[in-house]
Structures are given as C-alpha cells and as structure tokens.
A and B are shown apart, each in its own frame.
Chain A
Amino acid sequence: MSAAPASRSVLSRLWPVLLLLPLVLPRAIDNGYYVGLLNRILVYAILVASLDLVVGYIGDVSIGHAGLFAIGAYTVAVLTASPNLNTESSIAHFYQLPFGVALVPAVLLTAFAGFLLGFPALRSSGPYLAVITIVYGLIIYTFINEQEAITNGTKGITLESLKLGTMSLRGIRYFYVVYPVLVAVMFLVHNVTHSFWGRAFEAIKYSAVAAECCGISRAYFKVAAFVLSAALAGLAGGFFAQLDSYVAPNTFAYNFSVEFLIALIFGGVRSVAGNIIGVALIVTLPDLFSRFNDYRLMVYGTLLLLVLYFMPEGVVGIIRKVWRRFRPLDHSAERAQLERQSEGINVLAGLNEGAGGPEALQLKGVEMRFGGLVAVRDLTMDIRRGAVRGLIGPNGSGKSTTVNVLTGLYTPTAGKLLSFGEDLGPLRTFQRARRGIARTFQNLQLFADLSVLENVMVGLHPSFKSSLLEVALRLPRARAEERAARVRAYALLKFVGLEQAAFERARNLAYGQARLLEIARALALSPRLLLLDEPAAGLTAGEIGAINSLIQRMKAAGLSILLIEHHMDMVMAISDEVTVLDFGKKIAEGRPAVVQSDPVVVEAYLGKHPTSAAVPA
C-alpha cells in the first residue's frame, strides 16, 4: 500500500472483514426478521454517511435530510409502481420502469434538490441554516402528502418486490444487492473525505477565510458537498423504497431527520464505521428491549446530551481511545519514509521572480470606506520585486484593513490594486491565492482538528489537478498527487522547524509553533507575494529570532514580502523600506532609520511631546 494517511480509519483496517462478511453473516443469521433488520441497517448507513458529509465535514447542522431521503424513495416508487398493486390509488400515471433505471433520476433529482439547498447554505449558517433545513424537509413532506396524483398522498405506494428475471430479491437476496452498494458508497466516501476534497470541506468549517486564502472556493465546495450528500441520500432512499416495498409520507417526517442526526453524532462524525455503528444502534435497540419504542425518543435525547458533553467523538472515538491504550499511534515508519523522500527538496526554489518586470505589488489611491468610516484613505504604496516592505502604524491605523483589501476580503471603494502587472480587482480571494498571493493572520486561523501536516496540505490545494472521479476511485494520478503533497508538506514543515509535530492536531500546538505553521501553510502556495500580518505577535524573544531568520531566508530566495508588525526592532532590522499609516493615511515612508526618527511618526505613536522636540533615540 502506498503512503497511508496518518490516522488510519477503523474501516481501512477492517477491509478483510468486510469482504468476508457477506459470506458469513447471513448464514449465521437464520431468521428472516433479523436479515430484514440487517438490510435496514445497510440502507440507513448510506443515509447517515450522506448526512456526515454536511454535518461532520462541512460543519452545518442539517435537520432536513429526511426530505432528501424522501425524494429518492418516492422517485423510485413513482417510477416503478404498477397499477395492479395500487388499485385504489389516485395516481395519475404509472411509468413502470425497472428499478435500476429508476435509480438514476432518483439520484439526479435529489442531487438537484441538494444543489438548491446549497444556496441558502452559502448565505446562512448555524441556527438559521438549521431552520432552513427543517423547513426544506417540511416543504418536501407537505408536497408528498398533498400531491395525490403523483404520490397517492397519505395512503402511500406499494411496490413490486425487486426481481432478477423471475427470482424475487427479497430478504437475504436483497442483502446481496444492497451490501455491495454500501461497500461501494463507503469506499467512495472514504476516498473523497481523505483527499484534498475532504480537507477542503473541513478547512471551510474551521476557517472559511483561511480556506479561501489557500485557494479554496468556499462557494464551490460547499455547494458540492450538499450535492454529493443529497445524491447519496437519494440513492439510500431508492433502496429504502424496496426494503419494505412500500413508501408512505409519515416515514419521512421531521422526527426522522432528528433521529438520524442523533445516530450520526452517537456513532461518531467523520467516520464510516461510526456511521454504521450509530445506525445499528437505532435499528436494533427497539428490538432488544420490549416497549422500547415508547421511550425511544427520551433515550435518544438523553443519549445525545451525554454524547455532546462526555464523548463528543462518539462511540468510534471511545473505541479509538481504548485501541490506542494497547497500540499507541506509531508514526515512525511513515515519518521515516517522509524524511527520506523530502530530503533535498528546497521549498524556496523557484520563488524568485527575477528583477525585471512590474512591481510585486502596487496600490494606487486605494480607499476603503465602511459606511461613514474611512479605514484606509488614498493609499499609494509599492513593493519592488524581492523586497521587504514594513507596514507600521498605531492601533486602528488601517494596516489589517489593507491586508484584507489585498487578499480580496474587502473590495476597495476607490483605487487600484496591481500585482506583477495584473489587476487584482476582478479576482476573488481564492483566485488571488492561486495567483500566488499568500498570507498569515494576526488572529491565528488554523484548521484546529486537522493535523499539522494536513494544515500545510490545505495550502497545497491549488497543486492538485485530479478530478473528483479520480479521487473517489483512488486512481493512480490521485494517489500520486496525494503522496507528492504529503512529501512536500513535510519538507515545508522541516523548513520552519515543525516536522516533529507533523502528526499532532493543530489545536495542540504551542502558540509559537502555531505561528510557524501559518508560515509553512502560506509558503505551500508557492507564493510570489507574501503578506505577513503580525507574525511575531505574542512571541518570546527566542521565537521572534526564529521568525526573523525565516523571513531572511525567504527574502534571500527572492520572495516579495509585506510585513505588518509592532515589534519595531524586527521590522526595522529586516525591512528594506517602511511605510507608516495613521488614521488610514500614509504619514511617512522610507528607509527604517529615517522613519524611526521622523518627528511625525514619533508624534503619531507617542503623541505631542510637551516640549515639542522629539528626544533623540
């Protein structure tokens, strides 16, 4: 196997079991009823996996997946139903298509519904989005309930059981139909979520701004997640329709969405094994205890609270913890391989843009106005190729606003921005990142629960050229790109001195290390222009020295750098030129020594001296 991901999921260890299961399990379970339960678990597991894409990876609470499930189920039901089983229905037209054929429009239609849901998801988040998903589910439910000519309303639709030739595919035979589908879905989902796609989803969840600054289009990936999730939910719905050969609206009510959300959280998000465990629980519990159904929701509600407070990573999280007691995580083999493969990689190679040609950065008369407040006023500033420009000024002088304007977070109300001769105006944030403008953040924007290595790999996002299909099927090009990215990310960590922490979660880093990680991530973009927003804030003297030498090396390699800092010793030592802002305006500019002793600058920082003469430093 090629370089495996750092945290191998439970499932990837169990794949031999998965292959043997279909041969062993159904024979072991003699009872038709329990086979029925098993089939139900398989179908629901696909639904929960789809929900996980939105809830676990993108981080949005969706309480409306019952609606998407319903679209899949009903499309299949409507297209395959035959009049002889639905003699007293109000259905206007019977298409009587075969099951396999009907699945295609079911998935496509649900995917389209997911696409429609993606737009509100871009505009809203958190509770607002949760409400939209609830309402979405209710609208679909209402439609199904009311449109009797299509769906037969509350009476439901009865389907013929699935047939292969003349053989009826019920019970154990249906298991052999659904099982491969589940395995295929899990395989695809696993591959997508453990690739740059999955990292893009999670990056958006942890910090949409930082994700965009790594070249990830939030709009594209968020809508894509909803579409993929919906497609899978539709697929699950299609197979569900055949589970009981009957569909009725009351299955797909609001409570259904809530129960599956609980199953997902209980099993553990972002884990295919967790999805299955969660589903197994809610399917089998009512069977283990008689009258459980009466107390079902109370138990689930209490379970959810317990999971939220005491085991946020779900059952899978607990299994992992216990497993780690006996077999602690050992990355040494992988680390050794990465060490070997990253030897000799010069992360600074090729960053030199050469001396001739337009400036790395040109701001011309830039103004940034927020309503009545003018944060940046008539700013004209250049950065020559390969130069370091310091940008300083008292609190509120407009420095961070300037960086945000440069990365495209804000659109300036006047003026022009050019980088290497190219007008940045029409480019959105993620496009600017792809053009080689990288930044670090004053308030750390790390992807907290991704590993340090994965954080840097998000910075490598624009370097991936594989299509979604290649990623989902783990085709050679996708695997090769992933391997190469891991190696390069490791090399970048070596450059900043963080390689020891490569497999740690980013949230566990000490503050100084976190700052270094942001630099490594920014460098991953192979930038032409690097914007450092207070990289030394809160660091000890030793740590500042480390940052200093990094900046020196990057400068020596030919990178153009804009450095915003309050540590004056650092800024003055490393900048070729310094620009000083106060109240959004440039008040001084020039070589560090000149700026340091400029009385206008002294007054901006310290106020007017009572004797009106600056004391020589």
Chain B
Amino acid sequence: MQTLQLLISGIAQGMIYALVAFGYNITFSTSKTLNFSLGNFLMLGGVVGFVLYMTRGYPFAAALAAVIVVGAIGGAILLKVGIEPSLRQRNAYGWILATLAVGIILRNGAEVFWSTDDFKFRSPLGDSPLRLFGHHEADGSVSGGLGVYPQELLIIAVSLAIVGVVETFKKVTVFGKAVQAVSEDKDTASLMGIDQKFVILFSFMLSTAIACVAGVLVAPITLVSATMGTVLGVKAYSASIIGGLESGYGAVVGGLFLGISESLTARFISTGYKDVPGFVVLILLLLFKPSGLFGRAAIRKV
C-alpha cells in the first residue's frame, strides 16, 4: 500500500517533469533550440499564482487564467529578446547562453521583486489526503487504505489533458498539421502559405504557458520559492531527452520514468541520491541513443 502511495506521488511529480519536458519539445521541434529558461517559467507561474491566489485572495480560476496569460506573454518576450537576436549572430550556440541568461534574470527577479523565502501554497482542492479503499468509521471518516492528495490527482489529470489536447490538436486540425510541417521543413512550409514565424511564436507562447501552469500545479505539493524551477528544469531535460526531443508522448514516458525512479530511490535508498538514476539513464542514452527512446535519428549531411 505504501509503495502504491509512493508510486502515485512519483507519477504526480513525474507528470510535472513531463509538462516541462513537453514544453521543451514544443519549442525544439519548431525552432531547433532548447529553452534553458523553461524551469524558471515554471517558477514564474508558481509565484504569480501564489501572489494572486494566496496573497491577494483572488479565486483560483482567475489566478490560473492570469498565470496562463503571463506565461504566454513571457514566451513572446523570450523569443524576441532571447532567441531571435541570438540566431542572427555568428555563434551557433549563442541561444544556449541567451536562454540561460533569461533564466537567471527571471529567478533573481523573483528574489528581488517578490521574496527569497519559501511559502506554502494551499491546494484549491484542500490539503488533507483522500483515503481510498479505506475502512469507513462510524463517524463517517475513513482510515487506513490508500492516502492520496487531491492535488496529486489534479496534477495527473490536468497534465494528461494538456498533452492529450495539444497532441490531438496537432494531428487533427489544419493549423496543427501546419505546426508539424514547420517542424519538419520550415521553407517548404512557407511555400504552402504557412507563416512560419507566427508558428514559432505560437509554439513559444504555448510552451511557456504550459510551464507556468505546471508551476501552479506543483506548488501545493512542494513549496513556492524563487528557486523552485532551476533544478526541476534540469531534470525535465532528462525527461525530454529520454523520451525524444520531438515526441509529445515521449515526454510523458520520460517524465514518468523520472518521477517514479525518484520516488522509489528516495524511499528505498536515500533521499539525497534520488536524482541519480535519472541522470545516469540520461548520460547512457546520450551516449548510445541520442535521439531518445522515441526520437528519430537525425542524419547529418556533409
């Protein structure tokens, strides 16, 4: 039973990694850049959500909507200020440094303009665990059985919904096909009348909005702080690369692997080493199958 609880927590955490990984994949497939600041966008979402919902007391739905808008605008700014100028430079990897820079500006900005402390974020669904399959007591309460935080279930449901909706949209709608076309061959997509600049802008805004939502989702089960996104962002790369940088569902598999391995390692080996299995798998993958479990191998032409 305890293992099952661990698994559920691991799955929930894993879905957060999956959402950020999904964000990486979305912008990688259209622009061929990896957004090193995405973890800090998760933090941005968590912090903005905290300020609106906890500090100012607005309803959760309004706070969530605001977070989405802030995330989208942030993505547009990131593209214009960070990515586009770097791609015009001579240095092929200038964008790595540019997105790193934006990331640390975001994080320090939160520290300066908000706070350096950690805060508790109350779940909109309540913070006491649900007891499933438990023993019903005479006074109506439930004891024993499987303890699950409602927030964890919310995370899993919403994350799957987000990935599902976006992936379906990509396959079913014409605009979604256009996005796939831009990912595959930008120039030829232009020849179809598709505005590839707009598609890339859209992908950035979507990716950062998703990361911000992930921040709001994960806040109740950890703590909200200016630094909550940094290491999470790094771990999400693992999820991305494990699943393959262009695959949506691959991100979910990668995230789940990471979340579950962390949960189990923390419990059965040591909390300090919980990140290690994920890192080790990542390095092995990058050595032997860099395109990830579900990715397509790129062919280099001379």
Residues of A within 8 A of B (CB): 59, 61, 63, 119-120, 123-124, 126-128, 130-132, 134-136, 138-139, 142, 145-146, 209, 254-255, 258, 261-262, 265, 294-298, 300-302, 304-305, 308-309, 312, 400, 404, 409
Contact = CB atoms under 8 A, between A and B. Distances in A.
B282 A312 contact: no
A256 to B, nearest CB: 12
8 contacts: A63-B100, A139-B280, A145-B272, A146-B272, A298-B105, A308-B97, A308-B101, A312-B89
B287 interface: yes
B105 A312 contact: no
B286 A304 contact: no
Contacts of B34: 127, 130-131
B101 A301 contact: yes
Interface string B102-132: 1111011101100000000000000000000
Contacts of B196: none
Contacts of A296: 108
B234 interface: yes
A482 to B, nearest CB: 28
B247 to A, nearest CB: 16
Given A254-B234, A298-B105, A130 B89 contact: no
Interface string B202-223: 0000000000000000000000
A305 B89 contact: no
A611 B89 CA distance: 54
Contact of B89 (A131, A146, A265, A308): A308
A124 B81 CA distance: 27
B241 A123 contact: no
Nearest to B284: A120
A139 B276 contact: yes
A258 B283 contact: no
A404 B300 CA distance: 13
B107 A297 contact: yes
Contacts of B302: 209, 400, 404, 409
Nearest to A265: B97
Contacts of B96: 61, 126-127, 130
Given A297-B105, A404-B302, A142 B272 contact: yes
Contact of A300 (B81, B104, B286, B290): B104
Nearest to A401: B302
A119 to B, nearest CB: 7
A142 B273 contact: yes
A297 B108 CA distance: 6
Contact of A309 (B85, B234, B282): B85
Given A135-B283, A142-B273, A302-B105, A127 B93 contact: yes
Contacts of A59: 93
Contacts of B276: 139, 142
A74 to B, nearest CB: 16
The size class of the interface chain B forms with chain A is 35 or more
Contacts of A308: 85-86, 89, 91, 94, 97-98, 101
Contacts of B168: none
Given A254-B234, A301-B105, A61 B97 contact: yes
A305 B96 CA distance: 11
B151 interface: no
B286 A132 contact: yes
B227 to A, nearest CB: 9
A314 to B, nearest CB: 12
Report, nearest first, the 3 A-B pairs whose CB atoms are least far apart.
A297-B108, A301-B105, A146-B272
Contacts of B238: 131, 135
Contacts of A409: 302
Interface in B11-66: 33-34, 36
A145 B91 CA distance: 36
Nearest to B278: A135
Nearest to A306: B101
Contacts of A142: 272-273, 275-276
Contacts of A134: 234, 237
A21 to B, nearest CB: 32
A532 B149 CA distance: 69
A135 B82 contact: no
Nearest to B34: A127
A126 B89 contact: no
Interface string B74-92: 0000000110011001111
A256 B177 CA distance: 42
B234 A304 contact: no
A131 B103 CA distance: 15
B273 A120 contact: no
A293 B190 CA distance: 47
Given A258-B104, A308-B89, A308-B94, A123 B287 contact: yes
Contacts of A262: 101
Contact of A128 (B94, B107, B111, B290): B290
Contact of A120 (B89, B112, B283): B283
Contacts of A295: 108, 112
Contacts of A145: 272
B192 interface: no
B138 interface: no
Given A297-B105, A302-B101, A312 B90 contact: yes
Contacts of B143: none
Interface centre among A124, A130, A302, A305 (most CB of B within 10 A): A305
Interface in B267-300: 270, 272-273, 275-276, 279-280, 282-283, 286-287, 290
B230 interface: yes
Contacts of B89: 308-309, 312
Contact of B282 (A127, A135, A146, A302): A135
B153 to A, nearest CB: 30
B191 interface: no
A616 to B, nearest CB: 39
A576 B105 CA distance: 65
Contacts of B102: 301, 305
Given A119-B287, A312-B94, 14 more contacts: A61-B96, A127-B33, A131-B238, A134-B237, A138-B231, A142-B272, A145-B272, A258-B100, A297-B104, A297-B107, A300-B101, A301-B102, A301-B104, A308-B97
A278 B89 CA distance: 22
A262 B108 CA distance: 15
Nearest to A116: B283
Nearest to B227: A255
Nearest to A309: B85
Nearest to A403: B302
Contact of B231 (A63, A254, A301): A254
A126 B101 CA distance: 16
Contact of B290 (A123, A138, A146, A298): A123
A450 B109 CA distance: 40
Contact of A304 (B91, B97, B111, B237): B97
Given A301-B101, A309-B85, A123 B279 contact: no
Nearest to A404: B302
Nearest to B270: A146
